[in-house]
Amino acid sequence: MPPSQILLWVSGAILGGLIAFWLVRNAIDEPDRFLEVTLIGGTTGMIYALIALGYTLVYGIIELINFAHGDNFMLGGFQTNSMVNDGSFQIPLFPTAYVLPIPLGVAATANSSSGQKIYTILMCLFFSMLFCMVINVTIERIGYKPLRNQPRLVPLITAIGFSFILQDIGLVWKDAGPQPLPNILPTGDIFHWRGATYSWNDFIVVAVTIPLLIVLTYLVRRTRSGKAMRATAQDMDASSMMGINVDRTISFTFALGGALAGAAGAIYALYYGTVKFDLGFRLGLFAFTAAVLGGIGNLSGAVLGGVVLGLIEAYVQGFWDARWTTTVVFSVLIAILVFRPSGLLGEQVPEGQ
Amino acid sequence: MSNQAGSQPPQTKNRSTVSSWRASYRRYRREHTWLGWGIPLAIVVLAFSYPWWGLEGPLAFIFNDGLGIDNDTLFNMSIYVMLALGLNVVVGYAGLLDLGYVAFFALGAYTLGWFGSGLFEQRDIHFLDTNAARLPGIHLSFWVVVLLAGAVCAFAGVLIGWPTLRLRGDYLAIVTLGFGEIIPDVFRNGDDIGGFDLTNGVRGVTQLDRPGFGQTISDASGGILPVRYTSLELRPWYFTVLAMMLITVFVNLRLRDSKMGRAWIAVREDEVAASAMGVPLMRTKLWAYAIGAIFGGFAGAIYGSFINGIFPTSFSFQISVIVLVMVIVGGMGNIWGVIAGAMLISWLNFRGLDKIGERIGSIPGVSDDFSIAKYKFGIFGALLVLMMLFRPEGLIPSSRRKAEFAEGEGTATLYDVRT
């Protein structure tokens, strides 16, 4: 091992030790707050996990960092926003500011009946997922598919281009300011334990995410399409020789990723009660960090990475200074890439890479 | 356009009209060697005399009024040409995708803040500064600060590149993006680092030193070189940034044809082969990164001085992408393409889209508040996508780069570095 590598590892170990020490000290000093912050972090982490899965699915199959994914998530949030506020499914048209509304009558306010709220939440989830799925597959078809044999820089730049286009679709659709929506998630606390509380809307995030993860696992592990996906990820040429429709499989992957982004967008909008057009850039990068943290291409890794990143963010905001969140998250990203590029659980990319 | 023999593109199946023009131009070039220095000289003369024929005089109604290229726009365009040329070294020559170039731009500007303003008012250090009064703070001569900015950025480039340049191409892109976000974030939060005010936080640094030559040199030149630049007389600013731009072009040209430049191209085309031929990968890439950073620093220092205020919010990811769009639209690796791309995109960015929006808004039936400048990033995004789909080598590509793209499938590992 060359001396520069040893230096790198020693500095990494010292850094890791200091962080662990800091966390343990805070946990001992203020156990109540530590638990509360951990719960907050876990909830945010679930949303990160959903977005991170979209990155990792796409990276696993065509080794592309789909930059547009975060902005797709933002559009999902906007869709939920308009469904709750206006009760209609909306199709924004770029570059004109005209929005094509399809009335569904699902508008809800904080005072609506519980049945109406549940119905609205389910419809928001469904239509946001559908919306983002269509966007993701469209982008793949017109943007990434023709460039599959180009140098990897080319589709990556295309993805950045799409990211900006989607962001401006959001800007055309709603305006530049934060877009609020009423809180229709159930309120009230599930349990109190010393100083920490766990409320219903935190629980809803988990209650929506976990079934989605189970469905995703089932799709990837147990169905024919999932099998085709795994085969294509391993070797695109060989699987096409074995009769797998590679184009359709890749589109299927993008559809899955888009649906997860849509679900994340819906949950985010409902949970935080506000969506902004430039949200996707920051959250997308955070989620990508989560995917890298867990090991890109690795589905369980993305979930683990999402939760860990949510915790990191919560600890920074809870025990240090919220201003430094961005710096800390990107430092984590860089540290992971430098010290352990394969992530926590190991990367699963096609062989020979 | 010194295309060496042997770097000709492979014959494409159906040559377009443009490429046949290129061929006849090349033939003409070979027969008239004076064009090799004549055309650049003419362009330089045109650029330096722009204030006399473009801002005022016979053509002003086209350039100043019609296209809106006034003093400010001119200055900004020149700054962005410098930035694009700096990024061209990293992206175009060495093939390392850098999505955080704005970090060096910011660092250059803040270097001016540290060494050429009243930010550290508890200190009182002066060296050849041209301020009218003796102000508190560190005030070095602007020209020294520009060099310092280059040095600081080169150092930062090496510091950032050393652990990260061994990464795979797209991972490197993400890491550079991360640094591009971290560095402005540090400047934003830097007003209280252990109780020390390093960057004045969101309030930014204002009252920056301006370039100038001092009384002695000014007198010796008969008043042509100003004692210090002012915000009223903008021509010296333009000439200065143009001169810096020319230096950048010159360095770019010389680097391209140097041993280092050939090493960059070798690394870009095939790392494994280059390494086997004895090209030291890390050192070569670090040099590309550091040199790209230096130009970013130069541009940042003079930009900060011209704007007379440095704010962390001015250094966003969007700037990195705009500069990248310039390099890509113009043609990665080709200096003339990059300059043309930078001029076009920066014009669109600063004035062009406003002007086009005004024109469209003045058409009867279109609402007056029609604004396409609001959606400029969507437009640039669409431009990126269209370029990548239809002409990934750029508008004016280097023939070598074009050949690499035309190879297609075989280049799948072009930007790969095994970890």
Could you read off the pLDDT of A288-336 as tens digits, one per residue? 989 988 888 888 889 999 999 999 999 999 888 888 898 999 998 888 8
- Angle between helix axes A246-272 and A114-139 (nearest 10 degrees) is 140
Choose from A39-48, B264-273, B391-400 the range with maximum mean pLDDT. A39-48
Cβ contact, residue pair B389, A167, below 8 Å: no
pLDDT in tens, A79-131: 999 999 988 888 887 767 778 888 887 888 888 888 888 889 999 999 999 99
Cβ contact, residue pair B408, A149, below 8 Å: yes
Residue A127 C-alpha, separation from nearest chain B C-alpha, in angstroms = 25
Cβ contact, residue pair B411, A330, below 8 Å: no
CA-based nearest residue to B171, from A349, A232, A69 = A349
Cβ contact, residue pair B171, A337, below 8 Å: yes
pLDDT at A353 over 70: no
pLDDT in tens, B271-309: 889 989 999 988 999 999 999 999 999 999 999 999 888
Q: Does B378 contact chain A (CB < 8 Å)?
A: yes
Q: Chains A, B: CB contacts under 8 A, how many?
A: 147
Average pLDDT, stretch A8-15? 83
- Three-state DSSP at A100 gives strand
Quick one: CA torsion of A140, A144, A146, A150, rounded to 10 degrees? Answer: -160
Cβ contact, residue pair A162, B385, below 8 Å: yes
Quick count: other Cβ atoms within 10 Å of Cβ A165?
Answer: 25
Cβ contact, residue pair A292, B188, below 8 Å: no
| CA distance to A72, A106, A149, A167, B49, per residue, from A259 (Å) | 10, 20, 26, 18, 57
Q: Which of A65, A146, A327 sits opposite B170 (nearest CB)?
A: A65
Cβ contact, residue pair B374, A156, below 8 Å: no
Chain A residues touching residue B378 (CB < 8 angstroms): 94-95, 164-165, 167-169, 171-172
The 3-class secondary structure across B303-345, one letter per residue, is: HHHHHCEECHHHCCHHHHHHHHHHHHHHCCCCHHHHHHHHHHH
pLDDT at B251 over 80: yes
- The HSE-up count of residue A292 (CA atoms within 13 Å, CB side) is 27
CA-based nearest residue to A157, from B316, B396, B382 = B382
- Which residue's structure tokens are 């946001």? A128
In this structure, which CATH number among 1.10.12, 3.20.20, 1.10.3470, 3.40.1350 belongs to the domain B49-411? 1.10.3470
Which comes out higher in pLDDT, residue B22 or A132? A132
Cβ contact, residue pair B95, A153, below 8 Å: yes
pLDDT at B417 over 50: no
| CA distance to A44, B227, B396, per residue, from B376 (Å) | 32, 39, 23
Domains of chain A by start residue, with CATH: 3-339 (1.10.3470)
Q: What is the sign, positive or negative, of the torsion defined by CA atoms of A16, A19, A23, A24? A: positive
Cβ contact, residue pair B375, A172, below 8 Å: yes
pLDDT in tens, A141-156: 999 999 888 877 788 8
Cβ contact, residue pair B164, A330, below 8 Å: no
pLDDT at B2 over 50: no
Note the pLDDT of residue A352: 37
Q: Does B360 contact chain A (CB < 8 Å)?
A: no
Q: Which of A154, A165, A341 sits opposite B382 (nearest CB)?
A: A165
Average pLDDT, stretch B147-172? 87
Backbone φ, ψ for residue B92 (5° rounding): -75, -50
- Contact by Cβ (8 Å): B213, B225: yes
ipTM, 2 decimals?
Answer: 0.86
Whole-number percent of chain B with pLDDT over 70: 91
Q: Which of B95, B171, B404 sits opposite A341 (nearest CB)?
A: B171
Residue B264: pLDDT band by 50, 70, 90 thresholds? very high
Q: Does B189 contact chain A (CB < 8 Å)?
A: yes
Q: Backbone dihedral region of A331: left (phi > 0), alpha (psi from -120 to 50 degrees) or beta?
A: alpha
Tokens of B17: 């009209």
Sequence length of chain B is: 419
Q: Does B372 contact chain A (CB < 8 Å)?
A: yes
- Long-range own/partner contacts, residues A224-232 (CB < 8 A, 24 or more apart): A225/A249, A225/A252, A228/A252, A229/A61, A229/A253, A232/A61
pTM comes to 0.87
Residue B189 C-alpha, separation from nearest chain A C-alpha, in angstroms = 7
